[in-house]
Amino acid sequence: MNNLIELTSGDITRLDVDAIVNAANNSLLGGGGVDGAIHRAAGPELLAECRTLGGCETGTAKITKGYALPARHVIHTVGPVWHGGNGGEQELLASCYRQSLLLAKQHALRTVAFPAISCGVYGYPLQAAAQVAIRSVREFATDPGSVEKVYLVCFGDEMLEVYHGLL
């Protein structure tokens, strides 16, 4: 349990894990940020599979193969857009982490890496989002049979400092 969460820095598309999580949008048809990076690195087959999924509601998650990525799977989740914090953002963000880890468990995946969902284009404040991420991961991982290792991927020094401070 103490070794459940590991901080790592850099590009999530380089990680050799059972699944990387994508901070996607409701269409699941690609975008900028980490979503764009994942689609570029995985190749066009990822988009082809995403087209079959019928989109994804905010706070939920869907799984695909990883194609050209070192990761075996991609778990696509859609974080909330930050509107000041009174629009249920915290619960939706927590749900992203929970639903992603639930999918990982259902597919018997052991290692999962998350970017900071909603912390880019969607504008969620980093400190608040990091608290939700850590709490949600710790709560879920007490479930028997769930993932063994969760990597929280820090893209930039500021994020690394925030996560370090909280852990």
Q: Kindly state the DSSP code that residue 143 receives in the 8-state scheme.
A: S
Cβ of residue 65: shortest distance to ligand AR6, in angstroms? 19
Q: Which of 6, 11, 45, 148 binds ligand AR6 (CB under 6 A)?
A: 11
Q: Kindly state the DSSP code that residue 12 receives in the 8-state scheme.
A: G
Q: What is the Rg, in whole angstroms, of the alpha carbon atoms belonging to the chain?
A: 14
Segment 112-151, which members bind ligand AR6 (CB under 6 A)? 115-122
Asked about 11 being catalytic, the answer comes back as no
Cα–Cα distances (Å) from 26 to 38, 56, 57, 69, 96, in that order, read 16, 5, 6, 22, 13
Picking from 30, 37, 17, 91, the residue whose alpha carbon sits closest to that of residue 59 is 91
One symbol per residue from 85 to 114: x for binding ligand AR6 (CB under 6 A), - otherwise; what is it? Answer: ------------------------------
Active-site residues: which are they? 35
Q: Which residues bind ligand AR6 (CB under 6 A)?
A: 11-13, 23-25, 31-35, 37, 79, 115-122, 153, 155
